[in-house]
Amino acid sequence: AVGETVTFTTTMSPPPVPFLAITWMGPSSKNIITSGTTNVSDPEYTDRITLYPSTGSLELRNLALSDTGDYSLTIITHNVETHRGNCKLVVLITTASTDLVEFNSVRLSCSSSGSSPSFRWLNGSSEVTADRVQITDEGSTLTILIVTRYDLGPFRCHVSNAISAGTSQPLHFSVSYGPENTHLVTSPSQEVYTEGSDISLSCSAVSRPSARFTWIFNGGKLPDTGPVLTLTNIRISQSGQYICEASNNKTLRNDQSQPSSVTVLASISNVKLNTSTTHISEFHSSVRLSCSSSGSSPSFRWFNGSSEVTASDRVQITDGGSTMTIMNVSRHDQGPFRCFVSNRVSNETSDPVKLFIIFGPENIDLIVSPSQQFHDEGADVTLKCSVASNPALFQWFKNGNPLTHTGPELRLTNIQMRDSGNYSCQVFNSETGRNETSQPLTITVRKCKLE
């Protein structure tokens, strides 16, 4: 029984010359002692054993449940003959205590007065005959080899002979078990968490008595204990694998949960869009736009107006998406450009950036409104000059002579006969240094006929 002493006695006789070597091995192939020129012993046996070198016998004291198992002995004599032996030891808990541990053993002994007693064992109202028990000593001893949490009793011993019978007082057991089925739940349950959030990790386990909980983060133990671990104002540095470990001070067992992954990301903020230049000549220049932001694991997307810009023959997106380079810039690349930055918890868009694309002038055209061959004296006429040019400076001419008016429209109000003539507009681009003049448009004013 637990706490007692056992002696393993060999059949060897003391030899005239001492044995060369004696080796005792215990459960799980532990080296209890190897004795030769020196003695080598596992630390857990150092103060609990006595070896008798003349016969190889061994005394093991202060037995524990963990001492249950197979034992083997090897003796080598002075003439190098090898002798081997083995045996099995079962350490039991007696019913001096009704506080049991699941999967250990327990022995119940029944005593009585009277002649020729016959014994029967009962668990509740059922007779005990299961495979997990041994009934010995002519029925007076019941050994439960593997106690389970359901072996609570009440156990009774019924004793009888040919003339009388009697039943013992009931015996109830308290069985400690677990921990097992250790389970970890994270609340709120999310794939990722925003930095600054509060997270609660709750641990449960099947155990009697109730389990004690400790916490492991990325392989290292945390000082926190208890079934709930609260992470307030969580930081990115607290991302990682969390495990709760349940332990039972009665069964001396522990059990770990499956790891729970916590990923913390900082929100996207401070998104800014910068460009290498804003004044660009069409077809002869490239421009680089760079997007910067704060936050974790940013992902970048680019927009020209409401349309997304992706990589192409003219567009390169590099630096993890944060840089966009447009080659051979055209007049359609004016923007507004925006950079959209996101991660799994947030997103933000930059302020728009417009590019000043220099081109033209070209495709100049001059129209008159109303469009008619003759205009009556006193009428209003508007001439509109359209052109593809950036920038554009407009100059108007009448019969080849410059007018003071500038701008894309020339308004003639209350026209007179003197306003008749050939009109044209000329557009000058101060950046390209080029100009282009429209075809002349003839305005003919006629006198109104009075009736």
Dist CA 298 CA 113 (whole Å): 86
Residue 116 confidence class, pLDDT cut points 50, 70, 90:
confident
Mean pLDDT, the chain, as a whole number? 90
Residues 36-66: b if buried by 16+ CB within 10 A, e if exposed: eeeeebeeebeebbebbeebbbbebeebeee
Number of Cβ within 10 Å of residue 213's Cβ equals: 23
Residue 94 confidence class, pLDDT cut points 50, 70, 90:
very low
Model pTM above 0.85: no
Dist CA 274 CA 259 (whole Å): 43
Dist CA 237 CA 235 (whole Å): 5
pLDDT tens by residue, 62-86: 876 567 788 999 999 989 899 999 8
409-412 and 381-390 as β-strands: parallel, antiparallel, unpaired?
antiparallel
Q: Which H/E stretch holds residue 385? A: strand 381-390
pLDDT tens by residue, 375-422: 999 999 999 999 999 999 999 999 999 999 899 999 999 999 999 999
Average pLDDT over residues 106-117: 83
pLDDT tens by residue, 249-268: 999 999 999 999 999 999 99
Q: Is the pLDDT of residue 153 over 60?
A: yes
Please report, rounded to a whole number, the percentage of residues in the chain having pLDDT higher than 70.
96
Dist CA 13 CA 9 (whole Å): 11
Single-letter amino acid code for the residue at 144: I
Average pLDDT over residues 339-343: 96
Domains of the chain, earliest start first: 6-89 (2.60.40.10), 97-172 (2.60.40.10), 182-265 (2.60.40.10), 269-354 (2.60.40.10), 359-446 (2.60.40.10)
Q: Is the pLDDT of residue 111 over 90?
A: no
Q: Is the peptide bond prior to 227 cis by the omega test (within 30 degrees of 0)?
A: no
